[in-house]
Structure 1
C-alpha cells in the first residue's frame, strides 16, 4: 500500500471486509514474525458499536485472524477510555474481553500503564509505555462526529494512549494542537476506520448513522481529510488536520490521493429511530437506497441544518437504486438518480459533494 492511497470496502460484514482489505494491502509485507503488533480500537465508553461511538469488535477479530493465519502471534489490544469512563467495563460491554479470551490475546488498560514523557515544540505529553513499545501500531478509529472538533477519526483516536491528566490538559490547550503533536510523537503504521456506524455529531454515540464502509490507509492526515470530506466539512474546518499537515505527520492533499474502492454498497431498507435524524431526513424519499449513500446525505443535511438553511430545499430529495431510469422532479442524490432535475454525481457522493452541488444550484452556502 502506498502512502497516498485510501482503500475502501463497502458493506456490513465487518470481519470479511477487513480481511479482504488486509489481503489487498498485503499488510504482513516487511513485518517480522516476532514483531509486537498493537491493536488500538476506540472504546471511549461502554456502549455497543451499533450506537456509533465504539469500534466493532468484529473488525478487530478479522485483523487478528488475518495475522494468526500468517503466523503472527505477538499481538495485543490497547486502549484507555475517556476521563470518567471505566476501560475494564468498556472492554466487557464492547465485546473485547470475549475477543481476548477467544483468541488468547492480552488486553491492556492504558489508564493503568506507565507513562513516558515525550515533547515536541515545548509541549510535553505523557504517552503510555505499551503504545510506545509496539513495533507496529494499527489504529481502529470510528468515523463519527465530535462536539468540539467536529469530526474524530485517526488523529484524535490516539488520545486513548495518553494519561487521564494529559487528556484534561489537551482540553485546556484546545485539543487541536496537542492532537497534532501527539501524532508527531506516536506513529501509527496502519489505520482501519470503522465506518459501519458512526454518530452524527457526538463522540459518545446515541444518534448512529449507518455508513456501511471500512476505510484503510497509512497516512492519518490523509484519511482524516477524507473523513472530513465524507461528513461535509472542508479540511480548513478541522484545525488539527491543518496543523498535522504543517508539521509533517502526513499530507492533507486529497487531490494527490488514490481512492481504491474494492466494491459497492448494496441496496437496503434503512430505518432510523433517532428523532434528530428523522427530522433531518423529513424531506428525503428513499427507494432501495444504499447505507453508504444515505449516510453521506444525512451528514450533508446536518451541515445545512447547522446554518439554518434546510427550508431552502423545496420539494423532496430522491435517493436510491429504485429511482434508476425515472424522470424525477427536484434533487437526486447519486448516479442512480440521474433522471432528476438536478442530481449530485457519484456512487456514493460524499457529503461535501452534495453541499457543493446545493451551493451551486440552490443558493445554499455552508
Structure 2
C-alpha cells in the first residue's frame, strides 16, 4: 500500500469490510510472522460504539482474525481512556474483555503502563512504553467531532498512549502542538478508521451519525485531512494537522492522494448540514485549558438543558478549566479547578448528570 493512498469501504458488514481492505492493502507483506502487533482503538470512555464514541469491537475482531490468518500470534489491544474514566470499564462495556478472552490476545490498560520521556518539538513528552515496544502498531480511531479541536481521528487518537497527568498538561500546552508532537514519537504503521457512526459534534458520543464506512491508510496526516474534509472543516480550522505536517509526520495533500472506494455508499452525508445542526454551546462557557473529558461533558449537559428549554435561564457564562485553579471568581464554575467560584460543582470530571442537575437548580433560581 502506498503512503498517499486511502482505501474506503462502504457497507454494513463491518468484519467483511475490514478484512477486504486489509487484504486489498497487501499489509501481510509488511508484517513478519514473529512480530508483536499492537492495536490501539479509541475507548475514550465506557460507552458502546453505538453512541458514536468508541471503536466498534467488530472491527478490532476482524483485524485480529486477519492477523492470525497470516500467522501473527502475539497481539496486544492497548488503550488509555480519558482522564476521569476507567479503561477497565471501557474494555468491559465495549466488549473488549470478551473479545480478548475469546481470541486469546492481551488486553493492556495504558493507564497502568510504565512511561518514558522523549524529546520533541514541544519539549520533553511522557509516553507510555508499550506502544513503542511493539513491532507493528495499528491505529484504530473513530472519526468524530471534538469540543476543543474540531475533529478527532488518527493523530489525536495517539493521546491515549500517554499517562493521565500528561493528558492534563497537553491542555495547558494548548492541545494542538503536543498532539502533533506525540505523533513524531508514537508512529503507527497502519490506520483503520471507524467511520460507521461517529458523533460528529462530541467526542463522548450521544448523537451518532450513521455513515456506514471505514477508511484504511498509512499516513495519519493524510487521513485526518481527509476526515476533516469529509466532516466539512477546512485544514486551517484544525491546527494540529498542519503542525504535524510541518514536523514531517505526513502530508495533508489530499488533492494528489489516490482514493480507492469499495462498495456503495448506503447513506448520503452532507458535511455542511451536519455541522450546521450542531449548536455552539461553547458561547455559554468561559473555558480555560479545560481537559476534554470535563469540557465535553459540560457541553453535553448544556445540550440536554437546551432540549429541556432551560438554557435561556443561564444568564452568566460557566467557568471551567485549569487556569482558574487556586483563584476566586464570582459566578458559576464546573469541576475541581473552579472550586474558588461562588457556585461550584466539584468533580474531575463531574458526571454529565451531576452537571445537568446543578444547572437545573441554578436555572430555577434565575426564574
| TM-score in same-fold range (> 0.5) | yes
Question: Unpaired runs of 5+ in structure 1?
Answer: 267-289, 307-366
- Higher mean C-alpha displacement, 91-100 vs 24-33: 24-33
User: What is the 5 A alignment of 1:277-296?
Assistant: 290=267, 293-294=268-269, 296=271
Q: Equivalent residue for 2:355?
A: none
Q: Over aligned residue pairs, what C-alpha RMSD do you find?
A: 1.5
Q: Equivalent residue for 1:20?
A: 20
Q: Equivalent residue for 2:206?
A: 206
CA, structure 1 residues 298+96, in 2 after alignment: closer, same or farther (shift >3 Å)? farther
Contact 1:15-1:58 at 8 Å conserved across structures: yes
SS in 1 for 2:61: helix
Q: For 2:218 and 2:269, locate their aligned partners in 1 and report how far apart those are by CA, in whole Å.
A: 27
Contact 2:126-2:162 at 8 Å conserved across structures: yes
Q: For 1:223 and 1:165, locate their aligned partners in 2 and report how far apart those are by CA, in whole Å.
A: 28
CA apart distance, 1:297? 5.9
Q: For 1:20 and 1:200, locate their aligned partners in 2 and report how far apart those are by CA, in whole Å.
A: 26
CA, structure 1 residues 88+295, in 2 after alignment: closer, same or farther (shift >3 Å)? farther
Q: Does 1:299 align with 2:274?
A: yes
Q: Does 1:222 align with 2:222?
A: yes
Q: For 1:24 and 1:176, locate their aligned partners in 2 and report how far apart those are by CA, in whole Å.
A: 33
Contact 1:141-1:157 at 8 Å conserved across structures: yes
Q: Equivalent residue for 1:11?
A: 11
Contact 1:209-1:295 at 8 Å conserved across structures: no
Q: Equivalent residue for 2:160?
A: 160
Q: For 1:204 and 1:255, locate their aligned partners in 2 and report how far apart those are by CA, in whole Å.
A: 31
SS in 1 for 2:226: helix
Deviations 1:160-209 (A, max 9, x none): 10000000000001100000000011111110000001012111001111
Contact 2:122-2:181 at 8 Å conserved across structures: no
Q: For 1:169 and 1:13, locate their aligned partners in 2 and report how far apart those are by CA, in whole Å.
A: 40
Give the TM-score taking structure 1 as reference length: 0.75
Q: Equivalent residue for 1:281?
A: none
Contact 1:35-1:74 at 8 Å conserved across structures: yes
Q: Equivalent residue for 1:250?
A: 250
Q: Equivalent residue for 1:29?
A: 29
Q: Equivalent residue for 1:317?
A: none
CA apart distance, 1:31? 1.5
Question: Unpaired runs of 5+ in structure 2?
Answer: 281-367
Q: For 2:259 and 2:36, locate their aligned partners in 1 and report how far apart those are by CA, in whole Å.
A: 29
Q: Equivalent residue for 2:127?
A: 127
CA apart distance, 1:13? 1.2
Q: For 1:22 and 1:43, locate their aligned partners in 2 and report how far apart those are by CA, in whole Å.
A: 22
Give the TM-score taking structure 2 as reference length: 0.75
CA, structure 1 residues 122+11, in 2 after alignment: closer, same or farther (shift >3 Å)? closer
